[in-house]
Structure 1
Amino acid sequence: MSKESGKAFDYKLFKRLMQHTKPYKLVFYGVAVAAILLSAFSVGRQLLLKETVDNYILHKDNEGLLIFIGLMGLTLLMEVVSQFSFIYYANWLGQSIIRDVRIKLFKQMMRFKMKYFDNSSVGILVTRAVSDMERIAEIFSQGFFVIVADLLKMTVVAVVMLVVSWKLSLIVFAILPAILYATRLFQKAMKVAFIEVRAQVSNLNSFVQERITGMKILQIFNREDIEYEKFSRINKKHERAWVKTVWYNSIFFAVVELLSSVTVGLIAWYGGLQALIPGSGFEIGTIIMFIQMSQMLFRPLRQIADKFNTLQMGMVAAARVFKILDTDSFIEDKGTQSAEHVKGDIAFKNVHFSYVEDEEVLHGISFEAKAGETIAIVGATGAGKSTIINLLSRFYEINSGEIAVDGVNINKYSLSSLRGSVAVVLQDVFLFADTILNNITLKNPDITEEAVVEAAKQIGIHDFFMSLPDGYHYNVKERGAMLSSGQRQLIAFLRAYVSNPSILILDEATSSVDSYSEQLIQQATDKITEGRTSIVIAHRLATVKKASRILVMEAGNIVEEGTHKELLKKEDGHYKNLYEVQFMAEEQTV
């Protein structure tokens, strides 16, 4: 889009946008008919005014005057009806189209790889889905149709003027090229200005969204003044971008108003002189009509320029939205087999992976987990433990090697069935601004409230939920702000449990968790891992000891593997060192 910033109009982009009107053809054509009728009635009213002045007012024909005033009233009424239909259905069409495009956009973003979101600003994506969509709607409600209607009206006006008086028409048309030239310059300048406006709006949205989300961190580290200064600079750029558009508007409308007034003066001067000459054919009604119709010719030009701004803003927004719609950032889903009833045998075979090209995170990882086993993964931060979690659910694609479930490459399973058979409890639990029940079921109609209550009782956290106001219907607010980290994790445990997965992946971190929640989490861990294949990033000694096998990771490699007792026997082993640093103190306090 930046390469075309100097173009006043992008026809290919507009054509693609217009394809979304196909489901609403009847309304589209109805708006077009309303625009034609609006032009006809507007010009017809001026012709009736001319006839009324020349033939009835000047000749003092009261009876004829009443008839023509009635006709003018009827014409005005039809003009109002046409204008109402035009405005209402043009807006209806715009809202219907952006509803369809917004749904398509959201569906597209739901299918993107995690890598796409790793590299994208949430604030910018929100801007695309919300404010940019409104700009697209304005293409239809205030841009394209209004421009077409005004051009049609101008054409009809020009033809009628030529038919009535070519001499007075020449006066009007002599000024017209200057206005058209000013309009063209204005359109090009505004194209560039509005691209800058949309860029600054995105930057502002992104900055504000991130700072509001991270407000606690800003206040903890006393960053308010620094972030305020950053915001002021970004806001200043946003202001400058908008002021530039105001500057262009101020110049353009002043020039057009001046030229319009000069035209009226010339019509009154020349037409008045001619009217004084007997037999010249110039009449007062004709002069009045030309003054009115010259404004009807010039006023749409001012509006067209203004609406072209709206059209350009919409086109810039459409280009940004279509860029996301055209983004091919999907996990390939060509699998045909169902993973719905897998036993849970897992095998990683020489798996290599990197988040960033040429910066490998996993260096040939290989291990197996039999159905029903619990595999604990331990290691220092950055060793690659969480990466294994991401790869098993195919949130990212591996560089080489193979990951198999029940002996079948996970690429051969359909993505939905694979993820449906794997439940993940992450260390950073995300909760929606909704009830506890809806956060557990995620509004899955197949999971009833009775099933949730029974599952909560089985893993020992029913009493905790009932201790909250409204119990399972307690609203946790945005991101679960009303709950502690331990309480949020208990909800995540139950969310995984009620989905009845064949494979469970668990990051059981308990930092900042009170002793009561710690005990509940341990009970929940024991229950939900019972009888199913589990891969646990272990932070508790109890989980490590109970694991069928422990994988010790360091710098993207599995450096040791075995049971708790086996690994402790290795002198100066990685696990033994980790145990002495991390787990021994925990064991002594138990």
Structure 2
Amino acid sequence: MSGRSTPSRTGPPAETGTTAVGRPPRPPMGPGRGGPFAGMNVPAEKALNFWPSARRLLGTLRPERAWLVLVIVLSVAAVALSVIGPRLLGEGTNIIFAGVVSRDLPAGASKDEVIAGLRAAGQDSQADMLGAMTLTPGTGIDFTALASVLLWALALYVLASAFMWVQAYVLNGVVQRTVYRLRERIEAKINRLPLRYFDSIQRGELLSRVTNDVDNISQSLQQSISQAVTSLLTVFGVLLMMFLLSPTLAVIALVTVPLTLVTTAVIAKRSQKLFVAQWKHTGELNGQIEETYTGHALVKVFGRQQEVGERFRQKNAELYQASFGAQFISGLIMPAMTFIGNLVYVGIAVVGGLQVASGAMQLGDVQAFIQYSRQFTMPLAQLGSMANLLQSGVASAERVFSLLDEPEESPEAVGSVPAGGRGRLVFENVSFSYSPDKPLISSLSLVAEPGQTVAIVGPTGAGKTTLVNLMMRFYELDAGRITLDGVDVTAVSRRELRSRMGMVLQDTWLFGGTIRDNIAYGRPTATEDEILEAAQATYVDRFVHSLPEGYDTVLEDEGSNVSAGEKQLLTIARAFLARPSVLILDEATSSVDTRTEVLVQQAMSALRSDRTSFVIAHRLSTIRDADLILVMESGQIVEQGTHTSLLAAGGAYARLYEAQFAAPVAEV
């Protein structure tokens, strides 16, 4: 089971070094266990716990502290240069306006003489305005000074843009490395989760957390960090410049702050729950699509397209409503901020015009202040709209964190099975249940000697597959112990344990690769000759030569370009190549035809030589030659013996055998 990890509701996470072949067996259904469409009507998630989740999300950036400091330094430099720009442009406006006014004044007169003449003529307002200006009567526009100011402004904006570009580059690296580590944590977590977790969650829901939610976190971090740092620095820098220009106008601009905070808080509170619902419905819709696609053949066979389509439309409508509501309500933040900014703009324009007329300010200073007011309200609006993105990202982060917080398998041991062990497996008073209130296996004991073939039969739900799951430690025992070659399986690592076991399942699993690669999955270090030997022994070689590319044929979509029986032969060849100490065959020949089954049985006989083998079979004809047959009912071994002795006893095995081979079709 090593290598590629394929999350499933009915299978455990992949673990490196395991030689099991195929998907893990499907445990019997019980209370709370996942069926084909389990989890579609799960209760709604609790409301987003925003601040703890947001702090935890920011905590994932801790390894990037040094780079974040550099991001802040670059942002400070860029914002500082950008903030100085409007002041320089205001100086340019002052030069132009002063030149236009001075051109109409008498040449040779001083500024004081012109002002005195205006006051004598009763034109005090014009005298006050000229008093605030720097000009020489009759000279016109000073283009040299104007060019110098404009060149300085251009240089500042170019440098600011360069700093912002470098900041964006560094920040992109910070976010992508953070998300990279987060994906690694998720992958490692999946490999440490017990099989119980995959029994309780939809595959599509899990995939949505690993893909959609992580991508949303990446986008949210990328945009929100950049906007937050730049916007906050811009607000403080612009506010400082506004107070230097005019404290009166600065106070008017500050009115936007409480209005912005109140408006953002009211809108964000309403959209918060909708964002949680949006990503919840996204996961559920993905789960439904994945299940429908996986079982599309059965959907068509039973004519359930209409019902499936109706369920899809219902779930899609729920996602639409949640997404529309979240985006619409949170989208009100920017228009609201723009409206508040326009009100402030009107106030600044009116009061600033009066101050220019009174000589308290120059025209260029008012122009610069109006630019600053735009620069002041814009980051406030960005901070408000960022709440939209941040809520969505934190909602996704909470879903990912809930996965990372799931209880894991018990800690790994450091012991090992003795080298050369032949696979003596002993169950000592083993008890296990999927649900505490519904016992399944109770005080079960058995001994499987090396080289012995143990067949397990019984009705569906008797605990046959559960028994082999316990051998592989896909589940932990409630009581008792299992030993392999005298060593308690809990005293060795799962990798060590599973490297001694091979499993061939009814539900085959092949990955996208060549036939050679799929066989070699059982033992990656195998030579070409060993791969060919395994293929010939399991009759894979017979059908491979009929394929266009032979062993280099690439399997598509989990082997959709080969038949079900051929896929099963490939998984048997994989187990043959692994040559484990303990072999588990769970309905391993159920998908092959009768003639091929005979051939495979011969191959399996060679494979089982000197190895402990457990064979789960419903077709009793396949286990007649087993050394020991265990008959299970309700988690208990009710009979054990050879095929002949159990038939002679006339008990449960005999009834099963007669039901398959001797009894006519009975009326119900």
What's the TM-score bracket when you normalise by the shorter of the two chains?
over 0.9
Give the distance between the partners of 1:424 and 1:522, measured in 2 at CA. Answer: 15
Report the more deviating stretch, 402-411 or 387-396. 402-411
Structure 1 position 499 matched with structure 2 position 578: yes
Aligned residue type for 2:194: K
Q: Deviations over 1:497-542 (max 9, x none)?
A: 1112001011135445323432342233222112211011134455
Cα distance in structure 2, aligned partners of 1:356 and 1:469: 50
1:136 counterpart letter in structure 2: I
Q: Whole-Å Cα distance in 2 between the matches of residues 339 and 32 of structure 1?
A: 57
Q: What SS is found at the alignment partner of 2:533?
A: helix
Per the alignment, in what secondary structure is the counterpart of residue 344 of structure 2? helix
Moved more, 509-518 or 237-246: 509-518
Q: Which residue of 2 aligns with 1:308?
A: 387
| Structure 1 residue corresponding to 2:326, chosen from 236, 242, 245 | 245
How many Å separate the matches in 1 of 2:566 and 2:154?
Answer: 71
Alignment length (residue pairs): 580
Give the one of 81, 85, 90 matched to 1:41. 81
Q: Please identify, of 309-318 and 243-252, the stretch whose mean Cα deviation from structure 2 is larger.
A: 243-252
SS in 2 for 1:569: helix
Look up the match of 1:131. 212
Hey, what does 2:192 align to over in structure 1?
A: 111
Task: Answer whether contact 2:47 2:273 (CA < 8 A) is retained.
Answer: no
TM-score normalized by the length of structure 2:
0.83
Match of 2:566 in 1: 487
Alignment of 1:164-183 (within 5 A): 164-183=245-264
Number of the residue aligned with 2:108: none
| Residue 269 of structure 2 corresponds to residue 229 of structure 1 | no
Amino acid at match of 1:388: L
Distance 1:252 1:23, change over 3 A: closer
Change (3 A) 1:541 1:585: farther
Aligned ranges 1:194-213 → 2 under 5 Å: 194-213=275-294
Report how far residue 142 of structure 1 moved.
Answer: 0.4
Q: Give how far 1:168 is off.
A: 1.4
Q: Distance in 2 between matches of 1:584 and 1:499?
A: 39
In 1: Cα distance, 2:545 partner to 2:69 partner: 59
CA distance in 2, matches of 1:460, 1:573: 37
| Contact 1:486/1:513 (<8 A) preserved | yes
CA positional deviation for 1:89: 2.1
Structure 2 CA distance for aligned equivalents of residues 233 and 33 of structure 1: 50
- Matches of 1:562 and 1:256 in 2, distance apart? 81
Select which of 168, 173, 177 maps to 1:92.
Answer: 173
Letter in 2 for 1:30: L
> Out of 321, 324, 337, which is 1:256 matched to?
337
Give, in angstroms, the shift of residue 449 of structure 1: 3.3
**2:602 alignment partner in structure 1:** 523
Q: Please, which moves more after superposition, 413-422 or 250-259? A: 250-259
Q: Distance in 2 between matches of 1:184 and 1:246?
A: 16
Give unpaired runs (5+ residues) of structure 1. none
Offset of 1:67 from its aligned partner?
0.9
Kindly report the root-mean-square deviation, in angstroms, between the aligned alpha carbons of the 2 structures.
Answer: 2.2
User: What is aligned with 1:577?
Assistant: 655
Q: Whose relative contact order is higher, 1 or 2, with alpha carbons under 8 Å and at least 6 apart? A: 2
Cross-structure match for 2:498? 419
Give 1:33's aligned amino acid. V
> Secondary structure of the equivalent of 1:479?
coil
Q: Which moved further from structure 2: 152-161 or 560-569?
A: 560-569
2:459 matched to 1:380? Answer: yes
Q: 2:95 aligns with which of 45, 55, 70?
A: 55
Please say if residues 344 and 533 of structure 1, whose CA atoms lie closer than 8 Å, have aligned partners that are also in contact: yes
Summarize deviations over 1:330-388 as a string: whole Å, max 9, x none. Answer: 14422523355322111112222111222122232221111111111122222211111
Conserved 8 A contact 1:335-1:415: no
Any idea what the Cα deviations from partners look like across 1:541-586, whole Å, max 9, x if unmatched? Answer: 554222111111222221111111212211x322222222224599
- CA, structure 1 residues 154+434, in 2 after alignment: closer, same or farther (shift >3 Å)? same
- Partners of 1:331 and 1:394 within 8 A in 2: no
Q: Tell me the distance in 2 between the aligned counterparts of 1:55 and 1:340.
A: 91
SS of 2:630's equivalent?
A: strand
Give the partner amino acid of 1:573.
Answer: G
Mapped pair 1:330 → 2:404: no
**Cα distance change, pair 462–584 in 1 and its aligned pair in 2 (3 A):** farther
Cα 1:203–1:541 shift into 2, 3 Å: closer
CA contact 2:504–2:588 (8 Å) conserved in 1: no
| Bigger Cα displacement from structure 2, 537-546 vs 387-396 | 537-546
What is the 5 A alignment of 1:264-413? 264-277=345-358, 280-338=359-417, 341-413=420-492
Seen in structure 2, the aligned counterparts of structure 1 residues 30 and 585 have a Cα distance that, compared at 3 Å, is farther
**In structure 2, what is the Cα distance between the partners aligned to 1:447 and 1:98?**
36
Cα contact 1:171–1:263 (8 A) shared by 2: yes
Contact 2:426/2:446, CA 8 A, preserved across alignment: yes
Cα 1:45–1:389, aligned 2, differ >3 Å: closer, same or farther? same
Distance 1:213 1:254, change over 3 A: same
Provide the secondary structure at the position in 1 that maps to 2:61: helix
Distance, in Å, in 1 between the alignment partners of 2:568 and 2:418 is 27
**In 1, are the aligned partners of 2:81 and 2:157 still within 8 Å (CA)?**
yes
Helix, strand or coil at the partner of 1:429? coil
Matched, 1:455 2:534: yes
After superposing the two structures, state which structure 1 stretch, 155-164 or 183-192, moved more: 183-192
Structure 1: distance between partners of 2:347 and 2:464: 82
TM-score scaled by structure 1?
0.93
Mapped contact 2:463–2:634 kept (Cα < 8 A) = yes
Please show how residues 525-564 of structure 1 align to structure 2 within 5 Å: 525-541=604-620, 543-564=622-643
2-structure distance, mates of 1:92, 1:376: 56
Offset of residue 101 of structure 1:
0.7
Question: How has the CA–CA distance of structure 1 residues 204 and 58 changed in structure 2, closer, same or farther, with 3 Å as cutoff?
Answer: farther
Contact 1:201/1:238 (CA < 8 Å) preserved in 2?
A: yes
SS of match in other structure, 2:615:
strand
Deviation at 1:21, TM superposition (A): 2.9
- Residue 141 of structure 1 and its aligned partner are, at CA, apart by 1.0
The yes-or-no answer on 1:442 pairing with 2:482 is no
List per-residue Cα deviations over 1:401-420 (Å, max 9, x = no partner).
22111222211222111110
Partner of 2:22: none
One-letter code aligned to 1:144: I
> Contact 2:538–2:572 (CA<8 Å) still a contact in 1?
no
C-alpha distance in 2, partners of 1:160/1:553? 84
- Counterpart Cα distance in 2 of 1:443 and 1:286: 77
Bigger radius of gyration, 1 or 2?
A: 2
Q: Rate the CA distance shift 1:581–1:134 in 2: closer, same or farther, 3 A.
A: same
Contact 1:376 1:543 (8 Å CA) reproduced? no
Deviations 1:275-296 (A, max 9, x none): 223xx22211111111111111
CA drift at 1:155: 0.7
